[in-house]
Amino acid sequence: MELISTSFKMELWHLFLYCLAPVFIILVSGIWSFNPRYKNLPPGSFGWPLLGETIEFVSKPEMFVLDRMNKYSPDIFKTNILGEKMAVICGANGHKFLFTNGHTIFTPFLPYSMRKLFFSSAPGDFNLKKTVKEVKGAPGFLKPEALVKYVGKMDSITQQHMNTLWEGNDEVKAFSLAKSLTLALACRFFMGAEDPERVSRTISRFDAIKVGMHSVPWNFPGTNFHKACKAAAAVHQELMRVISEKKSAMARGEPVRDIVSHVIQASYGSDVEIAEQLMGTLVAGYSTVASLMTFVMKYVAERPDVYQKVLAEQQEVAASKKPGELLNWDDMQKMKYSWNVAREVLRLAPVIRGTFREVLSDFTYAGYTVPKGWKLYWTVDSTHMNPKHFRNPEKFDPSRYDEANDLPSYAFTPFGVGLRSCPAKEYSRLAVLAFVHNLVKKFRWEMVIPDEKIIGGLMPSPEQGLLIRLYHH
């Protein structure tokens, strides 16, 4: 009798699992998306309960946005990603609306996964407004006038990196070497750390954090988010040690030469808060710059004519230098074509696809209402590949950015616009140009795998690390 009863229970369970569970999920989805207070919400779907549309968004963010623009509206659509009800405002007009109303309708927002990784306090307890205000002081040290004195050191570190890790090799994995360089630069300028072992120990941890930033925040063993949390905790401890070392050095009267020392000196917060600020800065200064360097190599390798123009420009800069003389600020201003190449790379392979905001009060856009408390996602994907804004958008064409050509307003926004633009934009430009200058002076190159697959969704990278063959000049 017990056997029959158990068998019957199993049959009921299978019936529920295969027949009734889908119905249950559909019903819950209907409740999930129903909001009786607002009858004119943007078109779109919240997707599955809990998961929403996160998986589609993370895996193919560009297609996620473009498909929904075509299906629902070219101006705005609703979704649920990373556990948040969200409106995605699209197009150049949408960008203008977001960037010109930043102080009145929206406030900065980080999804749960990022808050958990970057902030040691409970994700629901920290004050992001306070944190953003505090961090505003640090970007002052990233402005052009402050970075002038760092150009020569950037050049020196890049030269040393090339001589040590590139010279003597016929083939290298470009992405791996770019990450090594950008982390060495970030550690030097943000933390004042030059110990190679300390830098190499940090690289694998930052890779795990990068993956976890945009993953589903399920914190149990085996998940990307769990690995990222462990890596973030280790980096946070390392940063706390750095801060303690800097305070001791400053107490001994040593000069202030790096950003963390400036932040300590200006009293931007407790040691924990400084470590949190530094964590986000390091992640941004490491992964995004490394990706940009890597994709510059990819696109230039595919276009010998572009390589020749970059080489000619950099040879002209080199010819104006005395033997052994390092690059300076004026040299960087002469590298206009090289930076136009990087800008076109940023259009085709954006290293930052977008950012998030929280809605402070109900507002209407394109005839639809977005409620207070919802989140907004701003993305370059709605404009960078749009033929309305860029002629032949699939074509790699650095001449788009010549002074004679007027780019459409708010269409090219790889670093944001105005007050909400990336504070590390100028630092990124200098690091990439120093890299390009030293690279083309020494080598020409070709890709070993011409059609190497690009993976990574929100933070793209070559599947095999961009294996390239080097030819010495």
135 and 12 in a single domain? The answer is no
340 and 319 in a single domain? The answer is yes
Residue-wise burial string across 206-245, b where 16 or more C-beta atoms lie within 10 A, e elsewhere: bbbbbbbbbbbbeeeeeebbbbbbbbbebbbebbbebbee
Judge whether residue 129 has pLDDT over 50. Answer: no
344 and 397 in a single domain? The answer is yes
For the segment 20-48, the average pLDDT, to the nearest whole number, is 61
**Residue 333: both structure tokens together:** 């201003």
**What single-letter amino acid sits at 91?**
G
Judge whether residue 128 has pLDDT over 50. Answer: no
332 and 433 in a single domain? The answer is yes
For the segment 426-450, the average pLDDT, to the nearest whole number, is 95
- pLDDT given for residue 196 in this prediction: 62
Judge whether residue 20 has pLDDT over 60. Answer: no
150 and 86 in a single domain? The answer is yes
Range in 22-31, 97-106, 212-221 the model is least confident about: 22-31
Q: Pick 148 or 437 by higher pLDDT.
A: 437
Number of domains in the chain: 2
146 and 95 in a single domain? The answer is yes
Query: What CATH number does the domain containing 42 carry?
Result: 1.10.630.10
Judge whether residue 473 has pLDDT over 60. Answer: yes
- pLDDT given for residue 13 in this prediction: 42
Span between the terminal Cα atoms of the chain, in Å: 85
In which band, very low, low, confident or very high, does the pLDDT at 314 lie, cut at 50, 70 and 90? very high
CA distance 412 to 377: 16
- pLDDT given for residue 6 in this prediction: 44
218 and 258 in a single domain? The answer is yes
66 and 3 in a single domain? The answer is no
* Ramachandran angles phi, psi of 344, nearest 5°: -65, -35
55 and 19 in a single domain? The answer is no
254 and 339 in a single domain? The answer is yes
Task: Work out the burial of residue 150: count CB atoms within 10 Å of its CB; fewer than 13 is exposed, 13-18 middle, 19 or more buried.
Answer: buried
Q: Are 377 and 354 in contact (CB under 8 A)?
A: yes
Owning domain of residue 11: 1-34
- pLDDT given for residue 325 in this prediction: 96
CA distance 418 to 239: 30
Q: Pick 441 or 1 by higher pLDDT.
A: 441
216 and 352 in a single domain? The answer is yes
Rg (CA), the chain: 24
For the segment 295-319, the average pLDDT, to the nearest whole number, is 97
Judge whether residue 45 has pLDDT over 80. Answer: yes
Mean per-residue pLDDT over the chain, rounded: 82
10 and 57 in a single domain? The answer is no
